[in-house]
Amino acid sequence: MKLTLTEKLIKNSLVEGSLERGTRIGIKADQALMHDLNAMMTYLALESLELDKVKINLAVQYIDHNMMQADFKNDDDHRYIQDITSKLGIITARPGSGICHQLHLEHWGIPGKSLIGGDSHTVAAGGIAMLSIGVGGFDSAMVLAGETFYFTMPKIVKVELTGKLPPFVSAKNIILEVLRRIGVKGGVGKILEYTGPGVKTLNVAERSTITNMGQETGATTSVFPSDENTRQWLRAYNREKDYQPLEADDGAVYDEVIKINLSALEPLIALPHLPDNIVPLSDVLGTKVDQVMIGSCTNTALNDILSVANILKGNTVHKDVDIGLYPSTRTVIRESVMRGAYDDIVSAGVRIFEPICGGCNGNGFAPKTDGISLRTTPRNFYGRTGTKTAQVYLCSPEVAAASALYGVITDPRTLDIDDIKYELPERFLDDSNIFVMPSLSPDIVPRRGPNIKPIPPMEAMEDTIKEKVLLKLDDDITTDHICPAGAKYLPIRSNIPELSKHGFKMVDETFPNRAKEAGGGIIVAGENYGQGSSREQAAIIPRYLGIKAVIAKSFARLHLANMCNWGILPLTFVDRRDYEKISSEDILELDTSNLKENKIYTLVNKTTGEKISVQSPASQDELNYIKAGGRINLVKEKLKG
């Protein structure tokens, strides 16, 4: 049987199910990655399950997301993480060594292996032909405990690349083009597999820019073949032994096809406030810019930094532009310094930050009030930067650098310079001392700061839900809407009671108090509820505030899994038009005594008397988690024996 590359990768890790589309399948992951912000819930869950050692071949913890040290909270989290990872057998990167996805690619990623990561952009590793999937903190905990990871076998989309990118039109424009065509919901239930002669023209860093931001299409993951470019890249990191060629069989059958001629691409830009709000750059040329941020796991590999340096070299950024750069890793910094690129960037007037997520997740470098910020990040969700009134545009590093010079959105192709010809070094400097090996000592007692609170207990679901609709929301509610990003909120992510006071802050500041007063409730939403990140606090907060169910037109994959893990019942309308039959404050009643996969339930609107048919997209296992009040309750029971 002829197989796609995706099918081959899934087969490598498959332990339950088949490749039949739409069926539930289980894989055993070869590797796991976690970062400090989401891993707090992972380790608190593992502690409450009393796991003494992880059961996976390779687990790596990064400390890159929550780095502000305005007080003790974040540093306390890091100390707790360092203690518990050492005890459990998890390798840990020193704080501030680099952004997890880039560091993992550089040091641990292996073509053909599978990676489950506690962050949505784990999918970046698809750039070296890994099956890489982002999950929430609790699913990470289960993977670390050696449990099978389940998901629905996605459709496989062939993204056929031909031609070659023109000068100053870099890889970011390929994924912006994909987003322009299929939007932020277009990848749901699918894996994007890149093929065609254009693939050979892209290096690994460019490929991982594309797979990384593929997350914004809602796709389960994206994947590139492993070829000579992959081999050279691994060799530069002294890991050629990890190389194996991997590609689809000739004649493999795909469920859908997208064709992109790279030679015909032009610079694109995403307007506020969604990554698929894309127009040609030419539509917004001349727009005044207040801030430029070059960074994130999407766009600060070596090639990006060299390209920015090439544009800024010998120039000074515009006086009205505040520009900052977050490099991806220590290795990239060192190589950029050796090539003189850092000097070109610093002397042009760029502020250099640590190699961390930083401004990307609202943890620093927020724009000013009403500021227009041009960013190379993958997301421009409303309020994500920490400044609610900011207007964030997403673009390539080349557009960002050119615009910083002129103070207005500028096409880099109009500059009087040549594009760089990027070459990998023969060998990057050895940076393996970034990693600290675990001691695996059972005597370690992880030190907890006062802000670290245990996971609150969760009650089992009753046999009838009768609750008020506390929020009626539109389409595309993101995890940022539910659980705000920004330097004010990130340090309390390990303190659910405190964090819950800010639930849905971006939508309705009264929600936490209303939920508390009502003693629970239901949320109604439009399409793609929960799009964005793996942040499971976006499920835990509503659950903690008593939300029993969310009825939406559709859900984002990762958030759906998080809701099920934490005991919130996801329901969809059998007839989407029934969304109109529910208003805020209506009382809804549902019989939840017998939760069954694919069952159609009758929801009664007690306020209007109307009956509405709904069903749950959750699997039977997930419905069992919900009925038990959350997966943690079931796993505890199982471990007790």
Which residues of this chain interact with ligand SF4, rule CB under 6 A?
Answer: 65, 99, 101, 119, 121, 296-297, 357, 360-361, 377-378
Beta strand segments in 440-568, E = 464-472, 521-525, 547-552
- What is the number of alpha carbons within 13 Å of residue 567 lying toward its C-beta? 24
CA distance 419 to 307: 7
Task: Compute the least distance from the CB of residue 2 to ligand SF4, in Å.
Answer: 35
Q: CB of residue 505 vs ligand SF4: minimum separation in angstroms? A: 19
- The least CB distance from residue 176 to ligand SF4, in Å, is 15
Q: Write the CB contacts of 457 (distance below 8 Å, at least 6 apart in sequence).
A: none
Strand order in the sheet with 372-375: 278-280, 268-270, 391-394, 372-375, 291-294, 322-325, 351-352
Which is nearer to ligand SF4, 377 or 410 (by Cβ)? Answer: 377
H or E stretch covering 598? none
Nearer of residues 123 and 401 to ligand SF4, judged by Cβ = 123
CA dihedral (401, 404, 406, 407) positive or negative: positive
Shortest reach from residue 355's CB to ligand SF4, in Å = 10
- What is the nearest approach in angstroms of ligand SF4 to the Cβ of residue 354? 12
- Complex with ligand SF4: residue 260 or 297, whichever CB lies closer: 297
Instruction: Provide, rounded to whole angstroms, the least separation between the CB of residue 609 and ligand SF4.
Output: 46
Nearer to ligand SF4, 99 or 321 (CB): 99
Pick between residue 396 and residue 410 the one whose CB is nearest to ligand SF4.
396
Which C-beta is closer to ligand SF4: that of 230 or that of 296?
A: 296
Q: Which residue has the tokens 């639930």?
A: 503
Minimum Å distance from CB 406 to ligand SF4? 26
Least Å distance, CB 67 to ligand SF4, is: 11
Nearest Cα residue to 98 out of 289, 349, 331? 331
Kindly tell me which of 209 and 500 has the beta carbon lying closer to ligand SF4: 209
Q: Specify the residue, 357 or 603, whose C-beta has the smaller distance to ligand SF4.
A: 357
Q: Which residue, 361 or 385, is less far from ligand SF4 as judged by CB?
A: 361
Of 105, 108, 146, which is closest to residue 123 (Cα–Cα)? 105
* Structure tokens given for 582: 């529910």
In whole angstroms, how close is the CB of 378 to ligand SF4 at the nearest point?
A: 5
Angle between the N-to-C axes of helices 204-213 and 172-182, in degrees from 0 to 180, rounded to the nearest 10: 30
The tally of CA atoms less than 13 A away on the side-chain side of residue 162 is 5
Q: DSSP letters along 517-541, please?
A: HHT-EEEEE-TTBTBS---THHHHH
Residue indicated by tokens 């306390």: 76
Cβ proximity to ligand SF4: between 479 and 605 the closer is 479
Name the DSSP letter for residue 366. Answer: P
Q: What minimum distance in Å lies between the beta carbon of 376 and ligand SF4? A: 10
| Residues with Cβ within 8 Å of residue 69, at least 6 apart in sequence | 75
Token output for 73: 């909270």
Question: 369 vs 291, 320, 347, 385, 506, CA distance in Å?
Answer: 11, 14, 27, 11, 16
